Amino acid sequence: MSVSPRLKRVSSGKFAFSSDAVSRRDANYHPTVWGDYFLNHSSKFLETNENIREEHEKLGLQVRSLLVDEKMDHLNKIKLIDDIIRLGVDYHFESEIKGELKKLHDQDHLDLDLCSTSILFRLLRAHGFRISSDVFTKFKNANGEFESDDARGWWSLYEATHLRTPEESILEEALKISREKLEALLPQLSIPLSDCVRHALHIPYYRNVPRLVARQYIPLYDAEATKIESLARFAKIDFNMLQALHQNELKEVSRWWKDFDFATKLPYARDRISEGYYWIMGAHHEPKFSLSRKFLTKIIGITSLIDDTYDVYGNLEEVTKFTEAVERWDMEAVNDLPQYMQVIYTGLLGMYEEFKDDLINAGGRDFALYYAIEVMKEIVRSYQKEAEFFHTGYTPGFDEYMENSIISGGYKMFIILEVITRGEYSLKETLDWALTVPEMVKSSSLIARFVDDIQTYKAEEERGEDVSAVRCYMKEYGVSEEEACKRMREMIEIEWKKLNKETQETDEVTTPVVLPSLNFTRVLEVMYDEGDGYSNSQGVTKDRITALLRDPIDL
Per-residue pLDDT averaged across 61-80, rounded? 97
Per-residue pLDDT averaged across 160-167, rounded? 97
Under the banding of pLDDT at 50, 70 and 90, the label for residue 157 is very high
User: Computed over its alpha carbons, how large is the radius of gyration of the chain?
Assistant: 24
Q: pLDDT tens across 180-196, in order?
A: 999 999 999 999 999 99
Element containing residue 3 per DSSP (H, E): strand 2-3
The average confidence (pLDDT) of the chain is 92
Under the banding of pLDDT at 50, 70 and 90, the label for residue 519 is very high
- pLDDT for res 166: 96
CA–CA separation, 451 and 446 (whole Å): 8
- Judge whether 484 and 474 are in contact, CB under 8 Å: yes
Cβ-Cβ contacts under 8 Å for 63 (sequence gap 6 or more): 84, 89, 92, 93, 228, 230, 231, 234
Per-residue pLDDT averaged across 416-441, rounded? 95
Q: What angle is formed at CA 525 by the lines to CA 208 and CA 184, rounded to 5 degrees? A: 65
CA–CA separation, 336 and 321 (whole Å): 7
Per-residue pLDDT averaged across 227-256, rounded? 97
Return the percentage of the chain with pLDDT > 90, whole number: 85
- Judge whether 413 and 371 are in contact, CB under 8 Å: no
Residue 547 is which amino acid?
A
CA–CA separation, 550 and 79 (whole Å): 30
Per DSSP, what are the bridge partners of residue 531? 529
Instruction: Pick the more confident residue, 212 or 22.
Output: 212
Per-residue pLDDT averaged across 391-408, rounded? 92
Per-residue pLDDT averaged across 29-42, rounded? 94
In the chain the domains, ranked by start, together with CATH numbers, are 58-235 (1.50.10.130), 261-550 (1.10.600.10)
Q: How many CB atoms lie within 10 A of CB 76?
A: 14
Per-residue pLDDT averaged across 479-504, rounded? 95
Residue 268 is which amino acid?
Y
Under the banding of pLDDT at 50, 70 and 90, the label for residue 287 is very high
- 3-state secondary structure string across 458-492: HHHHHCCCCCCHHHHHHHHHCCCHHHHHHHHHHHH
- Judge whether 96 and 64 are in contact, CB under 8 Å: yes
- pLDDT for res 463: 63
Nearest to 426 by CA among 518, 514, 512: 512
| pTM exceeding 0.95 | no
pLDDT at 417 over 90: yes
Q: pLDDT tens across 456-473, in order?
A: 787 667 766 678 899 899
CA–CA separation, 65 and 366 (whole Å): 41
Residue 425 is which amino acid?
Y
- pLDDT for res 14: 34
Whether cis (ω within 30° of 0) applies to the bond prior to 516 is: no
pLDDT at 22 over 80: no
CA–CA separation, 202 and 254 (whole Å): 32
Which region among 13-17, 206-210, 501-505 has the lowest average model confidence (pLDDT)? 13-17
Q: pLDDT tens across 307-354, in order?
A: 999 988 999 999 999 999 999 999 999 999 999 999 999 999 999 999
